[in-house]
Amino acid sequence: MKRDFLTLKDLSREELDALLKKASELKSGKDANQCLLIGKSIGLLFEKASTRTRISFQVGIYELGAQAIYLNPSEIQLGRGETIEDTARVLSRYLQGIIIRTFTHQKLERFAQNSAIPVINGLTDLHHPCQALADLLTIKEKKGKLKGVHLTYIGDGNNVANSLIEASAMTGIHFTIACPKGYEPNGTIYKKARSEGAIVKIVRNPKEAAKAADVLYADVWVSMGQEKESAKREKLFKGYQLNKRLLKLAKPDVIVMHCLPAHRGEEITDEVIDSPQSVVFDQAENRLHTQKALLELLIK
């Protein structure tokens, strides 16, 4: 039976642990038998621009022995009015899996419901689970554990924040987000995590949030599709910059994370993202290793 990866919750806790272990093995080179997908074809259907997601998946697919087929929506019949449902059914006859990067999460769900092959969420407005996988591997590498680690997220309660909340619920990470009123993470995801016993909280003051942090995490204030709100958001989030003053409030061994791309000088300063505490490029590299482990799990 085919399996999809639309949110982090599509994995059990045991599968998540095993996936992170497998990713570490792939990264270290211990697993010599990496070409497990020889002869398979995996699609990448991207409606949003991408650097890390597209390249890491393309490289990972190649390293596993399969071929990646990039599908630009404007260059296939989807761009001329073919339905999502029909596109999903047709591509299921050619491919063994597909990664989709789109705007609404509902569109991804519609595709998955009509697909006979595994569908992987490369990003939607609601979730970014592949980023969360890389984040978890990075934290585990740098801190030696996940449970009990204090992760403080500064900024907009966006798709990355939503997936990190789910990650916290599954691993025992203590998650705090500092954000302006009206820019909290998705309420349903937040409430569900708390009902599962996760230590997740929302505060307004970034200085308060930073004090106990093992990890300080920032993301852009304006995500793709929100460009019309740029001026409003920049004004509201002005006090939510990850800078040297905030960094000094956290634990001495704090690490700095950012899912990239970074708008340097806005949500994070140069001196922080380029500091010795920054692990943002390790974090970006780990997209490759965790996604290879994910592909091995889902593509049969």
Of residues 52, 54, 101, 127, which has the active-site annotation? 101
As a whole number, mean pLDDT of residues 217-243 equals 90
Q: Which of 4, 125, 135, 219 is catalytic?
A: 219
Question: Does 225 share its domain with 103?
Answer: no
Beta bridge mates, 67: 41
In sequence order, what DSSP letters do the residues of 96-155 get, joined into one string? SEEEEE-S-HHHHHHHHHT-SS-EEEEE-SS--HHHHHHHHHHHHHHHS-STT-EEEEES
Q: Read off the CATH number of the domain in which 91 is found.
A: 3.40.50.1370
Mean pLDDT, residues 128-155 taken together: 98
Is residue 210 domain-shared with residue 73, that is, in the same domain?
Answer: no
The answer to whether residue 106 is domain-embedded is yes
Catalytic residue among 128, 174, 258, 289: 128
pTM, two decimal places: 0.96
Q: What residue numbers bound the domain in which 114 lies?
A: 8-128+286-298
Q: Is 83 found in the same domain as 14? A: yes
Instruction: Find the mean pLDDT for residues 42-56.
Output: 96
Active site residue 52: no
**Residue 214 banded pLDDT, cuts 50, 70, 90:** very high
Active site residue 101: yes
What is the DSSP secondary structure assignment for residue 79, as one 8-state letter?
G
Considering the domain architecture, whether residues 120 and 184 belong to the same structural domain is answered as no
Confidence of residue 230 (pLDDT cuts 50, 70, 90): confident
Residues 113 and 147 in one domain: no
Q: How many domains does the chain have?
A: 2
Residues 239 and 259 in one domain: yes
Measured CA to CA in angstroms, residue 110 lies from 77, 87, 89, 159 at distances of 17, 11, 11, 19
Task: Reply yes or no on whether 289 is catalytic.
Answer: no
Return the pLDDT at 31: 66
Q: Is 277 in contact with 49 (CB distance < 8 Å)?
A: no
Residues 213 and 144 in one domain: yes
Q: Is 135 a catalytic residue?
A: no
pLDDT score recorded for residue 62: 96
Same domain, 175 and 70: no
Q: Burial of 225 by CB count in 10 Å (0-12 exposed, 13-18 middle, 19+ buried)?
A: exposed
